[in-house]
Amino acid sequence: MFVLILTFLFACLLSLYGVPLARRAALLYNIVDKPDGKLKHQREPVPYLGGLAIYLAFLMSLAFTFEFRHDVLGVILGGTIVVMLGLIDDFGVLSPMTKLIGQVLTVFILIKSGIRISIAALPDWLDLVLTVWWMVGLINAFNLLDIMDGLAAGVGVVSASCLMIVSLLNGDQGTAVMLAALVGSLLGFLRYNWHPATIYMGDTGAMFIGLMLGALSMIGQYAARQDLALLSPVFILGVPIFDTMFVMYVRYRRGLPMFLGSPDHMPLRLRRWGLSVTQVVTLSYAASAVFGGLGILLIYADRQAAFAICIFSGAAALAAAYGLLKVDTRAPQAVASDPAPAVTVTRKAGSA
């Protein structure tokens, strides 16, 4: 427990120190997100490179406090590759297909390190397909969720905290320490990314969060009591998964490309509904905490109770999706009391 707390504190302090440095560097070299009057409504350009500060704080805190093992090195190598991909993408020179290929190659590095989905009832090839689908989906889900000040980082904190609780309950100190490092680095960044944000994490940070949470969720043990507990990571990471599936459904129904930027996301529809940025982000944190708690409960519930949790959660998700579909994204936005709307969708149409 001492190592876990020490790693968390190191990561948080390093992030608090490193994020302003990254901001100054981004401003110096004009690595900024500029308002375009369409999807990006911040009042002035906001620098990127926050994701690089998150990654360095995470890595350095582990280097000071943690003894690396084989699977940990695989996660760190995969995270490093994703960070490089995101950094190149933040410069606007990476096509969606190239980025997707890089993500798939990163997943195979994780598989080679022994980090994969393993379900005894399924054939090995199907486990591998599910691993690639899970990882690529989560990497892009957090990238899609990074559309509002404090949203992706805060949801990442809540999700990582729930996974850390699962790891501690399972006695997996190593995974818990890595999650503590992620929580600390995200909290330090959130100090500067809270509305109105002075720095964004960019694709660098969003894809890194998605990869780390996806990979570390596969290391955990879930189905000791009953098989439905295998769905626990889906609950814990439910907010980005729900938003991604909702956006994909809306764009499919409208005949739009999946990677085209549009105001169809759950948080942006809540803004249209009249909530402020702070209210939307806080509501997203609360939803993430509730579903994360249900995910933890799912592990220890009997089969009948677990089935009830799944039915209730599915019904709640469908009801939320139905309500969000009723929001007219073409109407003028109803703005709640909010000093500076800073809704920022991904940096270019090809990656939203």
Between CA 116 and CA 129 the distance in angstroms is 10
Nearest to 245 by CA among 350, 140, 98, 331: 140
CB 290 within 8 A of CB 296: no
Take residue 306 and report the two structure tokens written for it: 């677990």
Give, in degrees to the nearest 5, the angle at Cα 193 between 192 and 199: 80
Burial class of residue 267 in the structure, from the number of CB atoms within 10 Å of its CB (0-12 exposed, 13-18 middle, 19+ buried): buried
Q: Tell me whether residue 143 is annotated as binding.
A: yes
Tokens at 56, concatenated: 């360095």
Residue 36 annotated in ligand binding: no
Looking at residue 28, its amino acid is L
For helices 50-65 and 2-28, give the axis angle rounded to 10 degrees: 150
110 in the Ramachandran plot: left (φ > 0), alpha (ψ -120 to 50) or beta? alpha
Binding residues for Mg(2+): 143, 203
Binding residues: 143, 203
